[in-house]
Each structure stands twice: as C-alpha cells, then as structure tokens.
Amino acid sequence: MPKQIPWWVGGIFMSLLFYFSFSSFGANRPIGASTGMAYLSTILFGLDSQNHIYVEEIEKSGAWEGVMLIGVFFGGLFMSIFVTKTFHISYIPTLWKERKNKSIKSRMIWSFIAGFLLVFGARLACGCNAGHILSGGSQLAISGIIFVIVALGTGVITGRFFYKKKVCKK
C-alpha cells in the first residue's frame, strides 16, 4: 500500500463521501466539525442546556458532529496503525523546528493558544474548514466564500510574521 494518496485522489474520495453524507441515502446534511468540538467541550465541562442557551441551540447538530468526530478519531487511528504505519508519539512538527524553534514548551503553549482561537473563532463564524470551506463552498454559500478569504488571508499574513524566513536549501 502506498503511504500517501495524491491530492486529486484525495479530492475525489472526499467528494464521494460528501455526496453520501449530503444525500438522503446517508445523513441528509453536510459535514461539519466545529459545532461538534463545542458540543464535546460542553460535555467535558458539564454545561447543560437548561442553564446555557448556546448548549440548547447547538444540541442537535452538535451531537451529530460529536458522534462523527469519534468516528474521525478511529478512522485516523486505523489508517495510521495499519495502512500508513506512521503512528508514533511526537511533540514538534518538523517544519516548526525548521521555521520556528526546537522548544517543546513553546510548541505546547502555542498549540494551546491556537486550539483555543480555532474553536472560539470557528464558533463565532458558525463554522470551520469543514463546515464553511468544504461544505459551504460546495453549496456556493456566500458565508463560506467570505470565510475562506478572511481566514486564509489572515493566516498568510500571520504566518509571514510568526515564522522565520525560509532557509534556502542548497
């Protein structure tokens, strides 16, 4: 088995999965992930729908995405153990070492902050990569298109200042 599939194969498989999820043969709704993240956090911290209006608001789609995320975890685990065989405990991505630093502490602190911003930002915008860019874009939603421009634009600008300049390889 190859260790990686090329972008176009990945894109074709992904859209087949989207057809299934979107149509009434599957789940009759598009895929999304960040509502599920917020929902899981309300489970973890024991927030209930009686006292928190947001929990009540996201209950249905949050539960769906929460269950889906459990599936996502096992899908990744299955592939990384049996197919790509890349499962190993690691702390810092290679590119981070190259462009930022080699400190585990720094990577962990930034990961926490970034994770916080991702879910908080995604909830503020009502969606993330999956919900806005992939599912939203596929439905030609204006909200998805605005989100792509703002999120990727900010990402590129932040990346420019946050990381060191590219080292020329000889």
Partner 1 sequence: MIESIQKMFAIVANEGHGSVWTVLLIGFLFGAIILYSRLDKFEKMAGFMIFEDTLVPRMAMTTVALSSLGFYFLTQAGYATFHVKPVILGGLIIGGILFGIGLVILGKCPSAFFVSVSEGRVDALVGVIGGMFGGLVFTLAYPWINEFTGPNLGKLRVVDFFEGHSLLIVIIFSTVLLVTAYLLPTIEYKDPADFKEK
State which of positions 105-164 bind partner 1 (CB under 8 A).
107-108, 110-147, 149-156, 158-160, 162-163
In the complex, what is the shortest distance from the CB of residue 57 to partner 1, in angstroms, rounded to a whole number? 8
Taking CB under 8 A as the criterion, the residue among 95, 167, 168, 169 binding partner 1 is 95
Asked if 89 is part of the footprint of partner 1 (rule: CB under 8 A), the reply reads yes
Burial class (CB in 10 A: 0-12, 13-18, 19+), 47: middle
Residue 158: closest CA among 128, 103, 117, 124: 117
Residue 129: closest CA among 110, 148, 111: 148
Asked if 93 is part of the footprint of partner 1 (rule: CB under 8 A), the reply reads yes
x/- contact string, 18-47, with partner 1 (CB under 8 A)? xxxxxxxxxxxxxx-xx-xxxxxxxxxxxx
Which two tokens mark 69? 């995320």
In the complex, what is the shortest distance from the CB of residue 150 to partner 1, in angstroms, rounded to a whole number? 3
Burial class (CB in 10 A: 0-12, 13-18, 19+), 33: buried
Asked if 102 is part of the footprint of partner 1 (rule: CB under 8 A), the reply reads no
In the complex, what is the shortest distance from the CB of residue 84 to partner 1, in angstroms, rounded to a whole number? 7
Q: How many residues bind partner 1 (CB under 8 A)?
A: 134
Residue 164: closest CA among 104, 98, 91, 110: 98
Q: With respect to partner 1, which residue has the nearer C-beta, 140 or 170?
A: 140
Residues 51-70 that bind partner 1 (CB under 8 A): 52-55, 59-60, 63-64, 66-70
In the complex, what is the shortest distance from the CB of residue 3 to partner 1, in angstroms, rounded to a whole number? 7
99 contacts 166 by C-beta, under 8 angstroms: yes
Which two tokens mark 42? 């309300």
